[in-house]
Copies of this chain bind each other. A is one copy, B any other.
C-alpha cells in the first residue's frame, strides 16, 4: 500500500498534469480544491517533487506548478520512489532486511511477483498517462 503522502503526491501531480494540454499553471489553492486535500499538505509534498525536478514551479503572481514536456513523459515510478524511498520495490514482504532468492522469507516466492507487477506498472505509466482518463471524465481524483 502506498503512503497517504504518496497518494497525495500522485493526485496532485495528476491534476497539475491535466492542465498540460492547455499549458496552464495551477496554484496550491486550486489543486487543494480539486483533490480534496489541505493546501499546506500539498505544498509540502510538491516542494519535494519540485526539488527533484519531477515537476516545475514558478513563484510570484501568475506563478504556480506545471510540468514540462520532459516531465510529462516521466514514469510514475519516479514519484513513488521519491516519496517512499528508492528501495520501495525491493523490500521484503515480511520485513527481512533484504529480499533475496537465496535467503527468502516464507512468502517470497509469491510476494515478489506481485511486487514486481506493481513495479512494472509504475515504470510503464507516465505522468501524462495519469490524466488522460481524467480529462474525458473516465477517472476521478475525488470521491
Tell me the A residues contacting B by CB distance below 8 Å.
1-2, 4, 7-8, 10-11, 14, 76, 91, 93-98, 103-108, 110-111, 113-114, 117-118, 121, 125, 130-131, 133-134, 138-143
Contact = CB atoms under 8 A, between A and B. Distances in A.
A141 B14 contact: no
Nearest to A129: B106
Copies in the assembly, this chain = 2
Nearest to A139: B106
Contacts of A138: 104
B94 A11 contact: yes
Per CB-CB distance, the 10 closest pairs between chain A and chain B, nearest first, are A7-B95, A110-B121, A106-B139, A114-B118, A106-B130, A7-B94, A103-B143, A96-B143, A114-B117, A1-B1
Contact of A131 (B11, B106, B117): B106
Contacts of A110: 121, 125
Given A110-B121, A110-B125, A105 B140 contact: yes
A130 B107 contact: yes
Contact of A108 (B94, B95, B139): B139
B93 A143 contact: no
